[in-house]
Amino acid sequence: MSKIKAILFDFDGTLRIHLPSGGEVFTEFVVGQGMTVSREDKFRGLRWEHYYFANSPEILADQMMFKGDRQGFWVNYSRRRLIAMGCHPGQAIELASQCSAHMAEFYKPQVHVPGELHRTLPALKEQGYVLGVVSNRDKPYLDELKETGLDSYFDFSLAGGEVPSFKPEPGIFMRALEIAGTNPHETFYIGDNYYADVVGSQRAGLWPVLYDPDTVFPDVDCPVIKSFDELPNLILAKV
């Protein structure tokens, strides 16, 4: 028997992707405003975005500071992101409001589901693996999972707010293991956010896999896939 018994997935950015990405729209706007953005600037901004939304100390502080002020939160987010991309802090303050307003008005992405999931997930399910979705959402998201057409492949879904514990905290992973009925060393976790998904699952003792089709994280300490078609071979390597 395989020592791997369960395969768990992140939801947003992994099973459910927004196209175009917020980073693409944000970068296109600031370039249009005269800011010079190199390829590395762009990817540094993307890595910062992943870090920020991985339940970072910065986002926790900003949520407290801008509690009830959604617009203020996103203006401040834009300022932080601009600085992460190499913008001078003074210029970032000037551009932040414009960036936030542009995103609010023009960022209307479409939901995309990687097509290979409809090959990979049924194959894994047929082989008897427990399949689950583990997200940092505040509330259950079963309706949105159903909208992807992937819900029938999964045995359960878990939101961080239900625990409550949010990646990269180990608590959310430990609760997922309880539901799956498996031990950490018997479980894979696949996600697109290195700081939340890889670091968090490593802390909890799971086998992490980074889904990184655009090579946002070029040097990481875990297996990387660019397509879900690559996943079965990684699992077989643990048999």
Is 74 in the same domain as 152?
no
Domain that holds residue 52: 21-106
Is 123 in the same domain as 225?
yes
Amino acid at 83: I
Helix (H) or strand (E) holding 87: none
From 58, 74, 106, give the residue that closes a domain: 106
Q: pLDDT tier at 236 (50, 70, 90 boundaries)?
A: confident
- DSSP for 11-31? SBTTTBEEES-HHHHHHHHHH
Helix (H) or strand (E) holding 70: helix 70-84
- State how far the alpha carbon of 201 is from the alpha carbons of 40, 83, 125, 128, 141, in Å: 27, 29, 21, 22, 21
1 part of a folded domain:
no
- Is residue 1 predicted with pLDDT exceeding 90? no
- Is residue 239 predicted with pLDDT exceeding 90? no
pTM of structure: 0.95
Query: In the predicted model, what is the mean pLDDT of residues 56-63?
Result: 97
- DSSP for 115-153? TTHHHHHHHHHHTT-EEEEEE--SS--HHHHHHTT-GGG
Whether the Cβ atoms of residue 47 and residue 23 lie closer than 8 Å to each other: no
Q: pLDDT tier at 47 (50, 70, 90 boundaries)?
A: very high
Give the model's pLDDT for residue 2: 57
Q: pLDDT tier at 147 (50, 70, 90 boundaries)?
A: very high
Q: Rounded to the nearest 5 degrees, what angle is found at the Cα of 58, between the Cα atoms of 86 and 103?
A: 60
Is 97 in the same domain as 156?
no
Q: Tokens for 145? A: 């999972």
